[in-house]
């Protein structure tokens, strides 16, 4: 066993060594920090002078006041005309009976061929491995798409969709012939 007096003396010696080393380095560091602080001078740029406000006379006394009832009535009348035009565009579509191909998105339908039947062009459209014959005037897709033209290579549609503002607009879409599709 190690005797206790020897352990006590070793601990005391190590404390003295640590205490002797620490003070001189810290004094040097404190002195260097003080020198650097005294040598460094901050540069502060002056703030620019604020622009002078010059009041202007109100010159539009005879114009319509922006918050008047007259201005509000004009805006409401203009908006109601747009709503009437949009309602006229979508109302016939909402009141008619839906056709079977209107339940399928347009990108899920594929044109696989065309033919002439009784002098009228007919397109062959495949949806879910079922083949449908569609003519001009039939509806296709979920955006009230009505077929306007059928050629050998494509079916042209007129769709009614909502734009970013929620207004109903017409747009054209096509269904291209898919060669080699199964």
How confident is the model over 137-158, as pLDDT tens digits? 999 999 889 999 999 999 999 9
Whether residues 108 and 171 fall in one domain? yes
The range of the structural domain enclosing residue 150 comes to: 100-176
**Percent of all residues in the chain with a pLDDT value above 70, rounded to a whole number:** 77
Whether residues 143 and 77 fall in one domain? no
Residue 162 or 141, more confident: 141
Nearest Cα to Cα of residue 89 among 45, 25, 143, 48: 143
Chain center to CA of 137: 35
Task: Look at 33-37, 71-75, 135-139 and tell me which has the smallest mean pLDDT.
Answer: 71-75
Q: How confident is the model at residue 89 (pLDDT cuts 50, 70, 90)?
A: low
3-state secondary structure of 132: strand
Task: Check pLDDT > 70 for residue 7.
Answer: no
Q: Is residue 17 part of a domain?
A: no
Distance CA(75)–CA(78), nearest Å, equals 5
Whether residues 92 and 110 fall in one domain? no
Identify the bridge partners of residue 130 per DSSP, sorted by sequence position.
127
Q: What is the mean pLDDT of the chain?
A: 81
Task: Check pLDDT > 90 for residue 22.
Answer: no
Residue 85 or 47, more confident: 47
Whether residues 104 and 167 fall in one domain? yes
Identify the bridge partners of residue 114 per DSSP, sorted by sequence position.
123
| The predicted structure's pLDDT at residue 156 | 95
Q: Is residue 90 part of a domain?
A: yes
Q: How confident is the model at residue 133 (pLDDT cuts 50, 70, 90)?
A: very high
Quote the pTM value. 0.52
Residue 54 or 71, more confident: 54
Distance CA(170)–CA(83), nearest Å, equals 15
Q: In terms of C-beta density within 10 A (0-12 exposed, 13-18 middle, 19 or more buried), how is residue 82 classed?
A: exposed
Whether residues 106 and 150 fall in one domain? yes
Whether residues 137 and 157 fall in one domain? yes
Whether residues 145 and 165 fall in one domain? yes
| The predicted structure's pLDDT at residue 174 | 93
How many distinct structural domains can be found in the chain?
A: 2
Counting every residue written for the chain, the total comes to 182
Report the CATH number at residue 110: 2.30.30.830
- The residue written with tokens 């007129």 in the block is 158
Whether residues 91 and 150 fall in one domain? no
| The predicted structure's pLDDT at residue 176 | 92
Q: Is residue 12 part of a domain?
A: no
Q: How confident is the model at residue 59 (pLDDT cuts 50, 70, 90)?
A: confident
Question: What DSSP designation does 153 have?
Answer: S
Q: Is residue 75 part of a domain?
A: yes
Beta-sheet strands, E only, within the chain: 110-117, 120-127, 130-134, 146-150, 154-162, 168-176
């Amino acid at each position: 066993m190690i005797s206790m007096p020897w352990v006590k003396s070793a601990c005391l010696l190590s404390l003295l060594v640590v205490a002797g080393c620490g003070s001189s380095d810290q004094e040097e560091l404190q002195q260097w920090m003080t020198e650097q602080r005294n040598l460094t001078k901050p540069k502060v740029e002056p703030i620019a002078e604020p622009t002078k406000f010059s009041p202007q006379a109100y010159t539009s006394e005879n114009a319509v006041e922006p918050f008047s009832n007259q201005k509000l009535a004009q805006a409401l009348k203009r908006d109601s005309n747009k709503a009437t035009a949009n309602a006229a565009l979508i109302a016939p579509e909402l009141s008619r009976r839906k056709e079977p191909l209107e339940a399928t998105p347009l990108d899920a339908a594929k044109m696989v061929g065309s033919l002439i039947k009784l002098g009228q062009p007919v397109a062959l459209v495949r949806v879910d491995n079922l083949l449908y014959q569609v003519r001009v005037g039939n509806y296709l897709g979920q955006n009230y798409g009505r077929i306007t033209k059928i050629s050998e290579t494509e079916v042209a549609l007129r769709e009614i969709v909502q734009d970013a503002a929620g207004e109903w607009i017409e747009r054209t879409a096509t269904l291209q012939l898919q060669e080699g599709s199964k």
